[in-house]
């Protein structure tokens, strides 16, 4: 079964955004993420702050990249929920870690945090609504 057919058959809350809306939001967020993550990496390489500041950025990038294969490839809702909780937690952690060094990077992550908060709530809802199916 194609992933979109599978996803469309899942029980979802009435406030679930349309797939096109989700795609549009990510197309806005990914450039912000790329610019800020790249900036953080370059500054770490220039030794502007300890490499430990980059750890939450790396965890976030990995967890973000793993979500789609887990959710739509493996079709594992509980594992996707754990993954998105890691994404959300690592955004908060990276905002906290970079704040003393480059506050603008923290502020630039606010739209990402807001969207992932909505997406996390949606993922938890879908997982609960489809538990045991």
- Tell me the pLDDT tens digit for each residue of 24-66: 999 999 999 999 999 999 999 999 999 999 999 999 999 999 9
pTM: 0.94
Query: For 84-114, how does the pLDDT look when each residue is reduced to its tens digit (9 = 90+)?
Result: 999 999 999 999 999 999 999 999 999 999 9
Q: Is the pLDDT of residue 132 over 90?
A: no
Q: Which of 9, 5, 2, 3 is nearest to 126 (CA)?
A: 9
Q: Is the pLDDT of residue 19 over 90?
A: no
Q: What is the pLDDT of residue 34?
A: 97
Q: What's the mean pLDDT in 106-132? A: 97
Residue 21 φ then ψ, to 5°: -65, -45
- 123/33 Cα distance (integer angstroms): 21
Q: What is the pLDDT of residue 70?
A: 98
Distances (CA, A) of 123 to 21, 22, 61, 88, 108: 16, 13, 18, 12, 24
- 16/21 Cα distance (integer angstroms): 10
DSSP annotation of 96 reads H
């Amino acid at each position: 079964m194609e992933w979109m057919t599978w996803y469309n058959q899942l029980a979802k809350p009435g406030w679930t955004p349309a797939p096109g809306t989700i795609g549009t939001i990510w197309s806005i967020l990914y450039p912000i993420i790329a610019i800020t993550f790249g900036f953080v990496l370059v500054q770490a390489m220039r030794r502007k702050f300890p490499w430990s500041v980059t750890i939450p950025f790396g965890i976030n990038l990995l967890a973000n990249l793993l979500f789609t294969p887990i959710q739509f490839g493996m079709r594992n809702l509980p594992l996707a929920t754990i993954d998105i909780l890691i994404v959300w937690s690592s955004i908060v952690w990276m905002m906290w870690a970079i704040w003393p060094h480059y506050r603008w990077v923290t502020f630039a992550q606010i739209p990402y945090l807001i969207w992932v908060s909505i997406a996390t709530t949606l993922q938890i809802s879908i997982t609960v609504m489809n538990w045991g199916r």
